[in-house]
Amino acid sequence: MGFLTFKGGIHPKDGKDLSKNQAITELLPRGDLLYPLSQHIGAPANPIVKKGDHVLRGQKIAEAGGFVSAPVYSSVSGNVKGLEVHLGPTGNKVDCIVVENDGQYEETEYAPVKSLEELTKEEILNMISEAGIVGMGGAGFPTRVKLSPKEPEKIDYVIANCAECEPYITADYRRMLENTEELVSGMRVVLSLFDNAKGIFGIEDNKKECIEKLQEAVKDEPRMEVKVLQTKYPQGAERQLIYALTKRAIHSAMLPADAGCVVDNVETLIGIHYAVMEGRPLTERVVTVSGDDIQSPGNFKVLLGTNHQELVDAAGGFKTGPKKVVSGGPMMGFAMVTLNTPVTKTSSSILAFSEDEVSKRKSTQCINCGRCVEICPCRLVPSRLAKYADRHDEETFVAQYGMECVECGCCSYVCPAKLPLKQSIGSMRKIAIANKKKK
C-alpha cells in the first residue's frame, strides 16, 4: 500500500523497540534545577526573580525578551540560588536561573479558565505565548509567532507532526497513546484560530496503535483527520511533511503559512492544551531515555530544568559507560560533552551509545557513487555542496542551492566514504547566512 511520502529519505534501524512499550513515568528531581534563559529561537528571556526569592511551581521566573521570545517558569518550589553561567545541552555556555528544590512542589494559583467558545483568538494566542510554549520537537521557535501568520483565513491545514521519524525516540509515541485527549484538545485550540483550516494528524505507518487510537478520538471531530505516512526518515521534517500530506512544496525562503499550513508537533500541541484549557504554563515535557548503553530505557515526564544525570539514573544508569551521549535523535541531535546539563523545552530524548559509529570509521575519498543524491530529501547534490563548502566557495555553494538544505543528515548517513557531508554543508550555510546578514 502506498502511504503518503516525499522523494528521497532513508530507513535507518529505528531502535524504538527499546522504549516504545514503556509507559510514561513521572520523575521528580532531587537536585537543583537550572533554567536557561534561552530555550528557544529569538531573544533570551529576562529574569524577574533575584537570589533568595522563594518561588512556587508554575511561577514565572523570566519574561519574554521580545515578540520572538518566550517566558520561563519554575517547575518546582524553592529558593532562587541566583543567575549562573552553566553548560547547556548543546555544549554552549548559557545563562541559567538556578532554583533550589525544596521538595514540596507547591504550586502557584492559576487564573481561572474559560471554555474555548468564550475566548477570543487574541486571548488564546496570548495564553499560548504567556505559557512559554515553543516548538518542542527540537527547533524551539516560539509557537505564538508560528500561529500568527499575516492572513490566518488563508490557512487550510493545521498539521500535527506525529511522524517522530528520528530513530530511538518514543516520547511522542507514548504521548499519542497516553494523552490522546490532550493532543486532540490542543488541535481543537489551534483550529479555533484558523476558521478555514482542517486539522491533520500525520503519523508514520509503523505506529499502528497510535493511528487506531487517534482515529477513534477524532471520529466525532468533523474538522480533524488522521493521515498515514510512510515510515521513513525525515518524514517529520517540516517541508517534507507538508508535501507528503498536502502535495504543497515550500523552499527555504518560504514559511509553512505560504503553503497554507501551520505545523506543530505532538508535545507542543499538548502544551497548548494545558496552557489554554487549564491555564498552566509549560514546566514539564516527556523525554525518552534510550540507547544500547542504558540499563532500562524508558519515557519520563520530566520537570524542565532537571539535570540529565538524574534522568539517566532514573533509567537505571549506564550499562558499561557510553562512548557517546546524544541529546535529541541520532540523526539531528547534539553529542553531549557531559550529563551535567539541564533538560530544556526542546530536549526530546537522551541517548547513550556504547559504540560511536562516527569515530569508528575513517573518511576516504568521494567515489561519486551518487547515493547522497538519490536520498537527499531536498533534491540537492550533497557531495558537491560539501566540496564547495570545504573549498570555501560560497558563491557556487549558494548557486547550486546549498541554502535549501535542511541538515537532516541523510547524506552523511549513507555516504560509503564516510564523509561528514552534512557537517561541511551545515558550516557553510552558517557562514552564508551570517554574510547575508552583514550585507
Partner 1 sequence: MNENYNISSSPHIRDKATSSNIMLMVLIALLPATIFGIYNFRHENAWLLIVVTTATAVLSEYIYEKLMHKPITIGDFSAAVTGLLLALNLPPTLPLWMGALGSAFAIIIVKQLFGGLGQNFMNPALAARCFLLISFAGRMTYFVYDGVTGPTPLANLKAGEAVNTMDMLLGNTRGTIGETSVLAIMIGAMFLLLLGVIDLRIPGTYIVTFVIFIIIFGGHGFDAQYITAQLCGGGLMLGAWFMATDYVTSPITPRGQILYGICIGLLTGLFRIFGGSAEGVSYAIIISNLLVPLIEKITLPKPFGKGGEK
Please state, in angstroms and rounded to a whole number, the distance separating the CA atoms of residues 320 and 353. Answer: 10
410 is in an annotated binding site: no
DSSP string, 236-301: TSHHHHHHHHH-----TT--GGGGTEEEEEHHHHHHHHHHHHS-----EEEEEEESTTBSS-EEEE
Only segment of 70-78, 177-185, 216-224, 332-340 that touches partner 1 (CB under 8 A):
332-340
Whichever of 185 and 347 has its CB closer to partner 1, that residue is 347
**Residues from 307 through 326 that contact partner 1 (CB under 8 A):** 309, 322-326
Cβ burial, residue 428 (10 Å; 0-12/13-18/19+): buried
Closer CB to partner 1, residue 17 or residue 123?
A: 17
Query: Smaller CB distance to partner 1: residue 84 or 123?
Result: 84
Helices marked H in 278-420 — which ranges? 308-314, 357-360, 371-375, 382-390, 394-399, 410-414
**Residues between 219 and 278 with contacts to partner 1, criterion CB under 8 A:** 239-240, 243, 249-252, 254
Q: Does 76 bind partner 1 (CB under 8 A)?
A: no
Residue 157 CA from chain centroid, whole number: 20
Cell output for 44: 533570551
Q: For cell 530555550, what's the residue?
A: 39
Cα(139)–Cα(267) distance, rounded to whole angstroms? Answer: 12
The answer to whether residue 371 forms part of the interface with partner 1 (CB under 8 A) is: yes
Query: What's the min distance (Å) between Cβ of 374 and partner 1?
Result: 8
Within 78-97, the residues that bind partner 1 by CB under 8 A are 91
Nearest to 352 by CA among 284, 293, 286, 431: 293
**Beta carbon of residue 335, minimum distance to partner 1 (angstroms, whole number):** 5
Pairwise CA distance, residues 197 & 223, whole Å: 8
Percent helix / strand / coil, the chain, rounded to 5: 30, 20, 45
Residue 100, C-beta contacts closer than 8 angstroms, at least 6 positions apart = 32, 78, 79, 80, 81
Q: Which stretch binds partner 1 (CB under 8 A): 66-74, 117-125, 140-148, 327-335?
A: 327-335
> Which residue from 114, 368, 392, 436 is in contact with partner 1, where contact means CB under 8 A?
368
Give the x-and-dash track for 164-203 against partner 1 (CB under 8 A).
---x------------------------------------
Q: Which is nearer to partner 1, 3 or 401 (CB)?
A: 401
408 is in an annotated binding site: yes
Which one, of 294, 302, 310, 400, lies nearest residue 346 by Cα? 302
Closer to partner 1 at the Cβ: 114 or 361?
A: 361
Q: Quote the least distance from Cβ 206 to partner 1, whole Å.
A: 17
Q: Is 378 annotated as a binding residue?
A: no
- For residue 398, state whether it binds partner 1 (rule: CB under 8 A): no
Query: Taking CB under 8 A as the rule, does residue 105 contact partner 1?
Result: no
Q: Does 411 show up as a binding residue in the annotation?
A: yes
Instruction: Out of 48, 139, 332, 432, point to the residue binding partner 1 (CB under 8 A).
Output: 332
Identity of the residue, 108 or 354, whose beta carbon is nearer to partner 1 in the bound complex: 354
Whether residue 372 is annotated as binding a ligand: the answer is yes
Q: Does 364 bind partner 1 (CB under 8 A)?
A: yes
Contact window for partner 1 (CB under 8 A) among 72-80, 115-123, 216-224, 404-412: 404-412
Q: What is the DSSP letter of 86?
A: E
Q: How far is the CB of 114 from partner 1 (least distance, A)?
A: 40
Is the Cβ of residue 12 or residue 42 nearer to partner 1 in the bound state?
12
Residue among 343, 289, 344, 287 nearest 319 (CA): 289
Phi, psi of 356 (to 5 degrees): -105, 105
Return the number of the residue (111 or 253) whose C-beta is nearest partner 1: 253
- Cell 521566573, residue located: 61
Cell numbers for 436, please give them.
547575508
Nearest CB to partner 1, comparing residues 84 and 122: 84
CB of 3 to partner 1, least distance (A): 17
Q: Does 357 contact partner 1 by CB under 8 A?
A: yes
Is the Cα torsion angle 57, 172, 189, 211 positive or negative in sign? negative
Which of the ranges 20-28, 136-144, 175-183, 416-424 carries the binding residues for partner 1, by CB under 8 A?
A: 416-424
For residues 35 and 306, is the Cβ–Cβ distance under 8 A?
Answer: no
The residue within the footprint of partner 1, chosen from 57, 182, 413, 428 (CB under 8 A), is 413
State yes or no: 210 annotated in a binding site: no
- Mapped onto helix, strand or coil, the DSSP state of residue 218 is coil
Query: Does residue 234 have a cis bond before it (omega within 30 degrees)?
Result: yes
What residues form the annotated binding site? 366, 369, 372, 376, 405, 408, 411, 415
